[in-house]
Each structure stands twice: as structure tokens, then as C-alpha cells.
Amino acid sequence: MDRRWTLVTVFLLTVAFSAATPAAPTGTDAKPSLARRVDGVVKPFVEAGVFQGVVLLAVDGEIVYERAFGKVSHELDVDNSPNTRFQIASVSKPFTAAAIQLLAERGKLDLHAPLSKVLPDYPNGDRLTIDHLLTHTSGIPSINSFDEYGEWSRGSHRPAGLVEKFKDRPLQFEPGAQYSYSNSNYNLLAHIIELVSKESFGDFLERNIFDPLGMESTAHHQNPDEIVPGLATGYTPVGARGFARAPYLDWSIKTGNGSLFSTARDLLRFDRALREGLLLKPESLEAAYGFERELGYGWYPGSRFSERQVTITGRSPGFTARFERFVDQDRSLILLSNVYISPPPQMTEALAALLLGREPTETGFDLNYAVSGKNLDRFTGEYAFGDDWFVGAVMTRIENNGDHLRLVYLDGNNAGYDFPLVPLGEALFFDRKHGGMVRFEREGVNSPWTLVYNHGRDWRATPVDGG
């Protein structure tokens, strides 16, 4: 940081961050009341097996709610705690972006110059810029979409080697012409950080971000053999209520785009550094948030309850994370989980309302709804999603698994992929793998059912041969 951090500054920051992260609040009427209401929102999702981990809410840098739920290890029957470390998946991206911006502030990078100035031999380097990489407008295909990715994810990698795996693949569109999320962009940014700084990706972040900000529980997970004290075991959902260990992943495959582990309190330290101008200059922070052009650097600008926010979510085998920051009110919502289910939108919506002092709507989440296998039979059959579905047009089958339904892909590259649908009501179900809601609708009692999947918007799957 051009030695911006003197010993005096580091001391003052340590004091400031210690004051900004007190223990779970007690002693006032308002905070226990908030705690009861937040507990009331979160606990049904914990009991349903769709969330476990840590929830943290902060106002003006002060923690107003912090609680851990579920198990850090189901095998050992050990509970999560506020000090549990979680893999934060794509919540790593704002850190990679901040590292790139620090190098730009020091005059070592021009974010809008041709990429060929940094990587002379990179294909299409005269058409690409670092800004394209930061905003996912490069057209570089995502490494996760390659057939070999599963095999690659079980081995150790460095950024330069990861770049070799996608650099010669054709661009999907002209750089800057459109947006398409691609983890390759942030693998490439990690490589640029190493080239320009002449340090490893992990060392650069540690020396320039983690250590100065007092983020002692955060690091890049490069070595899978390293014992990381307090790191949660990652799980994946099984059936209506069960868990299994997540498949093995060498986190170095995600260097730059999703390789960091952290704690909720450390993420709040990052939040404070951005808010108080301790890490990036104001113009850099404005670009990082990206409100003007609706494209940020690692962050996604938007609004909730008509209040401006920047958000980043992460999802990688065994872990999910959400970091939601209301930039005008200085309020922050942090969710870290060691189960591979996106934080249910009903839960995050209600928590954000409470954080902003608003009245949340009912989540409608009740797994005490009783169904019989016979009642579920009426929804079984084949359904077809259209081209706008997440994986494109695909045929699916709904099966009755006794206490829940199962949706199975029948064709395409994802054939055999399935996820459980847990009943919440007469024709309402929760997708326990992805956090979406499914409802079945029909025009009349003798009409076939239509499947409607909602995750922020509706996708419809029409019955095949009458359902």
C-alpha cells in the first residue's frame, strides 16, 4: 500500500475495529427485542435443515445481532460459533477486485488499457481490458462450464496454470458488448495480481488487505493439506432433512474467484475499511460499487426496500455466503453457511427488513405441513422448461419420494441431476438444494398441473402429454 499503513495507523485501526465488533449485544430493551425477532425468522429455516452457520447484522459498524446455528461438524456433533471460519466462495471476488484497484491506485495498472499491456501474449488482449474482467463483460467463457472442470477441481493449481486452461477458448461475445458471469475473469485477475506484484495471490492479499485490517481469520485456501483451525466442514442436503459431506474440492481451482475462507466478524472489518476510506480512495470505491452503470467490481449494485445496496453472494460445494450492505444507511447483513443451499430469499428479505427497521412480511416457511405420499402423486409426471431456464430447455420428471418430491433432469448435459422439493403447503414446495420455491398451478380441477419455479422471478415448466 505504498506503506500507507504506518505502525501508528495499524494501532489506531486495531482500536477502531475492536470497538466496532463487540460481543453479542445485551443490556438494552431494543437489542433483545431485535434478537427475538431475528431468531424467530431464522430458526424455522434451521429446523428445516436449509440453513446453518452464522448470522450477523450491523448498524453503523456496531453488531446488533450475532448468532451461530447448527453444526460445524455433524460427525463430531460440534456446534458452529461466531468464530467459525467458512469458505466464502464468490464473496472472495470483492477482495480480488480491491487488490486490483490498489495496484491501479499505485500506478501499476490501468484498468481501461488493453490487456495486452500486462499480458502481451494473451489472445484478444488488444480487445480486452481489466475493467471487462472485473465486470464480467469480457466474453471469456467460465472455467466452471468446461467438461474437464470436475477433474481439475480435485487437483492443485496456480493462477498461471488456470489461465492456460481457458485462454485459447473462443470469446462468447465482443468484449464490453454484454454481461455474462464467468469465474475465469477472476482467475485471470489473480494471475495479473501475481505478475504485477511479484507476490503470490494469497501473500499479496494478506500483506495489503488482511493484515492491515486485522482480518486474522481470513486467508486464501491454497494448500488442501493445511490444517485450518476452526474451519467448518461443508455439507450438501440429502432428501427432505438429511445432510452428507460435500464432495472434495481443492480450493485452488477457485483462486481469485472463490478461494477465501473467513468469519462474519472479519467480513465486517472489511465493510468498515471500505466505509471509512481505509482501503480504497473514494473514486475507486465508487467504481467498485458501480451504481452509475449498474455493474460493479465484485459487488452487485441494486436496491431493496428502495434503499441502495451492494451485494455479493457465494455458493461452492459445502458452503454458501451472502454479504449485503446498505451503503447510505451504513447497515450490513452477513450470512455464512456450511450447507450447500443458497440462503432462502424469504429469510434474507425478512432479515433485511428488520435491519432497516421495517416490518417484515411472513416468510410462509412451515415444514410442519403434513402430506401423504398419495397426495404427492398428483404432481408426478414429466414437465418441460423453456430456453430461458437456468440450464436451457430441459425435460424433467417429478417423482414421489414419500415425504417430498424429487425433480430430475432427463436430458441434456445435466441428465440425472436432481433436487428435493419439500412440501410447505397444499401445492407449494421448497427446493432444498437451491433455495427456490416451487408451486403447482392449474386452470381447473380436471386440468393438468403446471410447475412454476420461483427464485426472484418465475420460470414455468409445462406438463408433457397431459402431466
Distance of alpha carbon 252 from alpha carbon 259, whole angstroms: 6
Name 391's Cβ contacts closer than 8 Å, sequence gap at least 6: 409, 412, 413, 414
Distance of alpha carbon 164 from alpha carbon 178, whole angstroms: 24
pLDDT at 24: 36
pLDDT at 412: 84
Q: Residue 322 in 3-state DSSP?
A: strand
Distance of alpha carbon 270 from alpha carbon 27, whole angstroms: 27
- Strand-pairing partners, residue 326, are 309, 331
For the stretch 306-354, pLDDT in tens is: 999 999 999 999 999 999 999 999 999 999 999 998 888 889 999 999 9
Distance of alpha carbon 69 from alpha carbon 94, whole angstroms: 26
**Which DSSP letter does residue 99 get?**
H
Domain spans in the chain, listed from the N-terminal domain onward: 7-95+233-245+261-355, 373-463
Report long-range pairs for 107-116 (Cβ below 8 Å, ≥24 apart): 108/196, 108/197, 109/192, 109/196
DSSP string, 16-31: HHHHHSPSSP-SSSHH
* Stretches in the chain below the pLDDT threshold 50: 1-29
> Residue 280's CB: how many other CB atoms inside 10 A?
20
Distance of alpha carbon 263 from alpha carbon 82, whole angstroms: 7
pLDDT at 22: 32
Strands 235-238 and 71-73, sheet pairing = unpaired
The counts of H helices and E strands in the chain are 12, 21
pLDDT at 130: 98
Rg (CA), the chain: 23
Element (H, E) at 377: helix 373-377
pLDDT at 169: 97
pLDDT at 27: 36
pLDDT at 225: 87
Architecture field, domain 373-463: Beta Barrel (2.40)
Q: What is the identity of the amino acid at 143?
A: I
Distances (CA, A) of 339 to 12, 51, 124, 453: 37, 7, 39, 21
pLDDT at 30: 55
What is the CATH number assigned to the segment(s) 7-95+233-245+261-355? 3.40.710.10
pLDDT at 31: 65
pLDDT at 371: 76
Distance of alpha carbon 130 from alpha carbon 137, whole angstroms: 10
Distance of alpha carbon 448 from alpha carbon 430, whole angstroms: 21
Distance of alpha carbon 467 from alpha carbon 107, whole angstroms: 62
CB-CB contact of 323 with 312 (8 Å): yes
pLDDT at 466: 53
**Which DSSP letter does residue 419 get?**
E
Q: Residue 86 in 3-state DSSP?
A: strand
- Helices 7-20, 264-275: axis angle to 10 degrees equals 120
For the stretch 415-441, pLDDT in tens is: 999 999 999 888 999 998 888 899 999
CB-CB contact of 79 with 72 (8 Å): yes
